[in-house]
Structure 1
Amino acid sequence: MPQRILVTAATGTVGREVVAQLREAGAEVRALTRGPAAFPPGVDTAHGDLSVPDSLSGALQDVSTVFLVWPFASIDGLAAVLTLIAENAGRVVYLSSAAVRDHERQAEQLIEESGLEWTVLRPHAFAANALRWSEQIRGNGVVREAYGQASMSLVHERDIAAVAVHALTREGHAGARYELTGPRSLSQAEQVRILGEKAEHPVHWEEASPQEARLQMLARGWPPEVADEVLHAQAAMTARPGPITKTVEQVTGAPARTFESWAAEHTKAFRATG
């Protein structure tokens, strides 16, 4: 097992799970944060900011492996960060995405050229993305968006973390690109129904036009290019559901968790108010 593992974005959806599962596996963990944060007992905390490479020097001391999340829409500064990592560590596990957007593809290439042993994780849509519906579901029990029949295989953040932990702590994952999904495809309307069932609060889908949905996204602060990308992908998945892979089970030995299990764990976020 590596000497010490640095987890970037340690308070994020996946990063927090990676920290917890590494501790459960008995690994020495250092969590990188930009401010105060609570972690499981035994986790070493280091303060730093990926956008300021010089701030990472202390965090990288005595680290042999890094779980890297690059939370920016460009690779500006990544080369400097990778140089620092390579001066201290020998292995990096990078959280990319199945969309492999331009900056993610460029990041993957920089990592390949860094001299580090690398593994890339390419998850499809997160089950946690369903949290965007929580306010509508808690309120009137109606989710009004576009492309209710867009089908995708949602992946639980714990499964992404479990694959990451295997790649961080075990041999045999160098040079791998792991495409991660859940065990079955569900339409958005089906996801909403399941969330309501688990929260014991009837919920139904109300179809909106793509134009209306786009305005809603912009009102919530989504960049226009991101809103357009999401709607384009959803339109495609109404005709052709997103793929299903067996990668989680192949890497971890355990079947991928279902969306139903994720929904059952997060009922508090969707229970009706009042």
Structure 2
Amino acid sequence: MILVTGATGTIGREVLRRLPAGQAVRVMAREPSKVVRVAAGTEVVAGDYTDRRSLERALRGVGRALVVTCRVGGDDDARFLRAARSAGVRHVVKLSAAAVADSEADDLITRWQRANEDLLRGSGMRWTMLRPRAFMSNTLSWAASVKSERVVRALYGTSANVCVDPRDVAAAAVCALTEDGHEGRIHTLTGPEPISAVEQTAQLGRLLGIPLRFEELSLDRARAALGQRHPAAVVKALLASAERQRAGAKARAEDTVLRLTGRPARSYATWAADHIEAFGDRPDAGRHGLSRSLRTG
């Protein structure tokens, strides 16, 4: 039995779509009604990291588990690992972040992920770490301004990141959950090449068939925008991550997706083409349309 957590999030829902037919799968979710498009026979149970009994129920009979946590600074990993060890889980696959390997990264989010990786290594269970760079899907946060103003606003627009398609991260997770040989391994997951927000804006404009403008945010404006969605400590961490990106810390591509899945990592152009409706209408739709796992990777 495989347990999937985070099934309503960016990676978990893609993992569920890719697990092989006939595989015994259980999904743990705070709100089971939000888990959609699961394969026939998939068991969906209510569970919360802060509820020990719900964890015990969800983990009963599980051999391998995917753990996805997002409460920065919280102890969800510790709670899950204690319950998993008690339940006899043999192998835990953890969604972490590429920044963990960067000795210059010392922000809150990265320290939290490092500590959680250490907990898993010391748990006595077999483990696999998935360390993705930023998700390409983070650019969905631009959709509203693209549609209403034909503009993208971001900090450090010419800095590059080898961002990764969440579908490729999910494919790697499925490999680790269903194959032998991933125990004790760290998989750093990136896209095929570094790309900047300015270049992403241009690609979106070409796909939409309209001119899009990139507007550089000042540090103060970026801080204010992030502050509307995140606590101050998380904002500080995200800005530190952006500074590391500007310094070139996130520009190295890895071939991990190809090695694990047998096919190259998807480009941003591919991801954008597959999700362009979120930003506006395609040019061939008969009219011109107007055009977020916190990972610090």
Distance 1:256 1:25, change over 3 A: farther
d(CA) in 2 for partners of 1:150 and 1:229? 17
Amino acid at match of 2:47: G
Distance 1:227 1:78, change over 3 A: closer
* Alignment map for 1:94-113 (pairs within 5 Å): 94-100=94-100, 101-113=110-122
What are structure 1's unaligned runs of at least 5 residues? none
What do you get for the CA RMSD once the two structures are aligned?
1.7
**Contact 1:196–1:270, Cα closer than 8 Å, also in 2:** no
* Aligned length, in residue pairs: 269
Amino acid at match of 1:83: R
Please say if 1:85 is aligned against 2:90. Answer: no
* Alignment map for 1:78-157 (pairs within 5 Å): 78-86=77-85, 87-100=87-100, 101-157=110-166
Post-superposition offset of 1:58: 1.7
1:246 aligned residue (241, 255, 259)? 255
* Alignment map for 1:56-67 (pairs within 5 Å): 56-67=55-66
Counterpart of 2:241 in structure 1 is 233
Amino acid at match of 1:8: T
d(CA) in 2 for partners of 1:52 and 1:225? 26
Please say if 1:20 is aligned against 2:24. Answer: no
Deviations 1:157-177 (A, max 9, x none): 110011110010101111111
Post-superposition offset of 1:210: 1.3
Post-superposition offset of 1:115: 1.1
Instruction: Report the more deviating stretch, 255-264 or 73-82.
Output: 73-82
d(CA) in 2 for partners of 1:116 and 1:260? 39
Instruction: Report the more deviating stretch, 125-134 or 58-67.
Output: 58-67
Instruction: Report the more deviating stretch, 197-206 or 44-53.
Output: 197-206
**Contact 2:149–2:290, Cα closer than 8 Å, also in 1:** no
Deviations 1:195-233 (A, max 9, x none): 222233321201221112211221x32222333333333
Runs of 4 or more above 3 Å deviation = none
Percent identical pairs in the alignment equals 38
TM-score (normalizing by structure 1): 0.92
Post-superposition offset of 1:273: 5.1
Amino acid at match of 1:9: G
Post-superposition offset of 1:75: 4.5
Counterpart of 1:8 in structure 2 is 5
Please say if 1:31 is aligned against 2:27. Answer: yes
**Contact 1:199–1:264, Cα closer than 8 Å, also in 2:** no
Distance 1:184 1:25, change over 3 A: farther
d(CA) in 2 for partners of 1:115 and 1:76? 18
Counterpart of 1:41 in structure 2 is 39
Counterpart of 2:270 in structure 1 is 261
d(CA) in 1 for partners of 2:275 and 2:156? 24
d(CA) in 1 for partners of 2:200 and 2:261? 25
